[in-house]
Amino acid sequence: MKIFIKNMVCGRCISAVETIFNDANIKLKSINLGEVEIESEVSEKDLNSIEKTLLKTGFERIKDSAHQSIEKIKNLIIMKISELDIAENFLLSEFLSSKLHKDYSSLSKNFSQNENITLEQFFILQKIEKVKELLLYNEFTLTEIAGKLGYKSVQHLSSQFRNSTGFTPTEFKKLKVHNRKSLDSI
């Protein structure tokens, strides 16, 4: 039995969800971002108990296929960005279509209707959050960050960053309070 879970965006999320299932004495077959496969069927009572615990921890069970698809898309985008290896000629449409084996227009339409944001806007917002993170860590120059996240130039990154945050990357670094968003809140 597969259970789809919203807001699983990193390794710590996987660990937290795994703990929830272990505490409920439910054996897992596999666990990945947004998805848990359990070894055997679970009673409705146990499932409701797990759902309540998931909610308390910031997760949520996804029951319908449209939202399951959206969660897969979000996880794919977050993982792609975290790799820091986006080619300059990267096409989100080709990437998602090939990974999910579905037509991009239907993926995009479903995403936009349910999330009130386009896939491209979501992708940009996720990249901007990654730029913020990398700026704060101070490990890479802006040129290196632009290259790792598929921007054609530092100017393109800076323009998109300013449009999204209201600050240039340099102004953002100088701020005392860095308004970063958690990945699952975008």
Torsion angle (degrees, nearest 10) of CA 42, 45, 51, 55? -160
Q: How far apart are CA 33 and CA 12, in angstroms?
A: 10
Q: Which amino acid, residue 169?
A: P
Q: Judge whether 104 and 91 are in contact, CB under 8 Å.
A: no
pLDDT confidence of residue 182: 61
Which pLDDT tens digit goes with each residue over 15-70? 999 999 999 999 999 999 889 999 988 888 988 999 999 999 999 998 888 888 99
Q: Is 26 helix (H, G, I), strand (E, B) or coil?
A: coil
Q: Where are the beta strands (DSSP E) in 12-149?
A: 28-32, 35-38, 60-62
Residue 185: pLDDT band (50, 70, 90) is low
Over the stretch 141-171, which tens digit does the pLDDT of each residue have? 999 999 999 999 999 999 999 999 999 999 9
Q: Find all residues with CB under 8 Å of 175, minimum gap 6, and list them.
A: 167
